[in-house]
Structure formats: structure tokens, C-alpha cells
């Protein structure tokens, strides 16, 4: 069953949304890790870009979940047993954490009550009164969930690479474009 299931690919929209989510998560994480090491003005620009891309991630996540529940190709588990159940659990956990991260990001921004430029095009402000204690808590939670997502996504990627290079079972090919292996 594993070889048959692994040979089937997800549809193009699912693949694009998957890789766009991965790219956005990596860029958002990199911005957050780097802005402490740059001058204040550049830091503010990086934070504004982070928030703008976070809004894009929220839109991509909504599209991805809507596509998955309505039109996305549903494939059987690539592997059976405990390994298949673990893979499914990992996917659901990553979805849950991504939703949590987006909600925490919006809530944190609201508690900060600071204006920012959406991609430098126009100003946005979520609230007018800052709530410092709530902002601190939400910021800490946002950081923890961000690190958790990156660690689990890294594990997810490592397992996909093991399937591709060690097991050579075609599991990674399900999420890659192009012709069949």
C-alpha cells in the first residue's frame, strides 16, 4: 500500500499552499530572530514586514483550510500503522499551532495598540489603548508557539527527507510538483 499511496500526488493548489505556508513560516521566524541585531529604524521596518507577512499567512492558512475541507485531493496515508497515525497527528498539530500562532499574533498586536504600515502601503492599528501586561503574556506565548512550529516543521521536513533519501518510498513526491518519479 505504501508505494501505491506514495506515488499519488496532491493537487497543485494543495502543493502551492503547503510550500507557501512553509516559506512564510521560515521568513517570519527569520525576521523575528534577526531584528534584535539591527538598528532601531530597520528593526521597526522588519517588525512591520513581519506583521504584514503574518496577515498574509493568516489569509493563506484560511485558504489552505478551506481548500483542504472542500476541494483538495485527499490521499490515503502513505504508510500504515503507528507511523501513519503519527504523521497524521503531526499534520493536525501543525495546523492547530499555525492557527494558534495567527490568533496570538493578532491578539498581541491588538494589546500593543501600535500603528504599523501594511507593506508600507497604508497604516493599520488594531486598538487605541495599550495593555502592557496582556501584551507581555501574548508576546511570550507567540514566541513559544513560533519556536514549537519551527521545531516540529523541521522534524516534519527531516522525516520527509528520510523517506526520500533513505527509504526511497516516494512519500516526499506526494508534495512535490513535476512528473512521477
Q: Rounded to the nearest 10 degrees, what angle do helices 132-162 and 12-34 cross at?
A: 130
pLDDT score at 4: 47
pTM over 0.85: yes
pLDDT in the model for residue 178? 62
Domain that holds residue 107: 2-175
**What are the φ and ψ backbone dihedral angles of 115, each rounded to 5 degrees?**
-80, 145
| 66 part of a folded domain | yes
Look-up of cell digits 500562532: 101
Residue 122: its H or E element: strand 122-124
What total number of domains does the chain contain? Answer: 1
Q: Is residue 18 part of a domain?
A: yes
CATH number for the domain that contains residue 75: 1.20.950
Asked, for residue 20, whether it belongs to a domain, the answer is: yes
Beta strands in 31-92, from DSSP E residues, in sequence order = none
- 91 within domain boundaries: yes
101 close to 144: Cβ distance less than 8 angstroms = no
At 179 the pLDDT is 54
pLDDT reported for residue 17: 96
pLDDT score, position 2: 46
By three-state DSSP, how is residue 118 classified?
Answer: strand
Tens digit of pLDDT for each residue in 124-142? Answer: 877 788 899 999 999 999 9
| pLDDT reported for residue 8 | 79
Q: Please, what are the averages of pLDDT over each run of 10 residues along the chain (181 residues)?
A: 56 94 98 96 93 96 94 79 90 97 94 87 84 96 98 96 89 75 45
- Give 77-102 pLDDT, tens digit per residue: 778 889 889 989 999 999 999 999 99
Apex 7 CA angle, 5 and 13, nearest 5: 95
Residue 144 placed within a domain:
yes
Whether 181 maps to a domain, the answer reads no
118 forms beta bridges with 122
Amino acid at each position: 500500500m505504501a508505494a501505491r499511496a506514495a506515488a499519488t500526488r496532491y493537487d497543485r493548489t494543495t502543493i502551492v499552499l503547503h510550500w507557501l505556508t512553509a516559506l512564510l513560516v521560515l521568513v517570519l521566524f527569520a525576521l523575528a530572530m534577526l531584528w534584535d541585531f539591527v538598528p532601531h529604524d530597520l528593526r521597526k521596518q522588519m517588525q512591520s514586514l513581519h506583521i504584514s507577512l503574518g496577515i498574509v499567512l493568516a489569509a493563506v492558512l484560511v485558504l489552505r483550510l478551506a481548500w483542504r475541507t472542500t476541494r483538495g485531493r485527499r490521499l490515503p496515508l502513505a504508510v500504515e500503522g503507528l507511523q501513519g497515525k503519527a504523521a497524521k497527528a503531526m499534520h493536525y498539530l501543525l495546523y492547530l499551532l499555525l492557527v494558534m500562532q495567527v490568533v496570538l499574533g493578532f491578539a498581541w498586536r491588538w494589546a500593543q495598540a501600535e500603528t504599523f504600515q501594511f507593506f508600507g502601503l497604508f497604516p493599520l492599528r488594531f486598538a487605541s489603548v495599550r495593555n502592557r501586561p496582556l501584551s507581555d503574556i501574548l508576546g511570550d506565548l507567540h514566541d513559544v508557539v513560533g519556536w514549537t512550529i519551527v521545531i516540529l516543521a523541521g522534524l516534519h521536513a527531516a522525516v520527509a527527507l528520510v523517506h526520500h533519501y533513505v527509504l526511497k518510498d516516494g512519500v516526499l513526491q506526494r508534495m512535490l510538483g513535476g512528473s512521477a518519479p
